[in-house]
Amino acid sequence: MKQPLVLVCAGGTGGHLFPAEALAVALAARGCLVDLVTDERAEQYGRAFPARATHIVSSATIASKNPIALAKALFALGSGYLHARKIITVLKPAAVIGFGGYPTLPPMFAATQVGVPTLIHDQNAVMGRANRQLSGRVTAIATSFPGVLDGNPTLAGKASFTGNPVRPMVIAAAATPYNAPVAGGPFRLCVFGGSQGARVMSEIVPPGLEQVDAALRSRLHLVQQARAEDQAAVEATYARLGVTAEVAPFFVDLPARLASAHLVIARSGASTVAELSVIGRPSILVPLPHALDQDQLMNAATLASAGAATIVKQADFTPDWLAGELTRLLADPAPLVAAAAAARAQGHADAADRLADLVMTTAGLTS
């Protein structure tokens, strides 16, 4: 019997590719072949993607009302649609699955036009703009948070809550129990800004640590993601302060770094929130402030409402505030233990399997 092929479409950032990767692994375990459709940004994050083949399709974000920019964007999307339609016609996939981002629009629209079963998965607590454009056309919708579409009966009728799939390395990291910090002992801090980094972490965390009492600061063991252009300055500050730190633009083994941390300071993208939940680690979350849909704030709120995280607006995320918060937690780490347990209770380690089962049903591949 011929193996069924599933086309997985994802924007070329970690937030879209990581759950797509988790689904690809789960589908492979069910006997499916998987091809990836994405854009050129996937080079950094998608090189290890478990796909039979990767198809780069042109796309663009419609973010400007300038006539020339709009025309270029529409041309790129139109070209991507024609390319994607040809791929789908030739490959004849059993289903096409979209994980959001504008690069998913051409292949998902093409799939709906050709009549292939389609499913979109949305990672956030509020549906993204690309998925909103596709939601009325697709066969089925999967959500990472319950109740996301309760206000829209038409869409809610074809929506299923699966959770946000996490990569196998996250599942492996989740096997490490939270090792509570002890009085006077090392305090492991992990700081990152999502797959593309965040300059605010490089601007605030080093001067914040400088304001922590030297005796407490000496206990810190730090892993920090910093953009390449900020790395040298961040490293120089920590060297001057005598802080044990490892700084890099990207950590391939980030889940293991999260698992070893006593506290995580991060943005609150969907994959970050899912990984913190499955691994079960307390966090300080600084949502991206200028997002049109405030999706990161909504994501963070799911952990904060459970007692698993502290939300701080970027405008309030100052060196003074951070120094005070770290001083409090270094002196009394008990709240971190409770927050770690609360985060773990929010995790859905089986999300990839639940989504894979939904894909199989949508594609008509279940007996």
| Mean pLDDT value across residues 98-118 | 94
φ/ψ (deg, to 5) at 163:
85, 175
The answer, yes or no, to whether residue 322 has pLDDT greater than 70, is yes
Confidence of residue 166 (pLDDT cuts 50, 70, 90): very high
Count CB-CB contacts under 10 A for residue 194: 20
Give the up-direction half-sphere exposure of residue 108: CA atoms within 13 A in the CB hemisphere: 31
The answer, yes or no, to whether residue 196 has pLDDT greater than 70, is no
Token pair for residue 174? 């989740």
In order of 23, 38, 275, 362, the CA distances from 97 in angstroms are 10, 12, 22, 10
Architecture, CATH, for domain 171-345 = 3-Layer(aba) Sandwich (3.40)
Kindly report, as residue ranges, where domains of CATH 3.40.50.2000 are found in the chain.
Answer: 5-166+349-362, 171-345
| Mean pLDDT value across residues 241-258 | 95
Looking at residue 197, its pLDDT comes to 60
Confidence of residue 42 (pLDDT cuts 50, 70, 90): low
With contact defined as beta carbons under 8 Å apart, do 100 and 130 qualify? yes
Q: Pick the residue with more confidence: 103 or 320? A: 320
Rounded Cα gap, residues 360 and 367, in angstroms: 10
The answer, yes or no, to whether residue 31 has pLDDT greater than 80, is yes
Looking at residue 276, its pLDDT comes to 98
Top-tier CATH class for 5-166+349-362: alpha beta
By mean pLDDT, which of 76-80, 310-314, 354-358 is the weakest?
Answer: 76-80
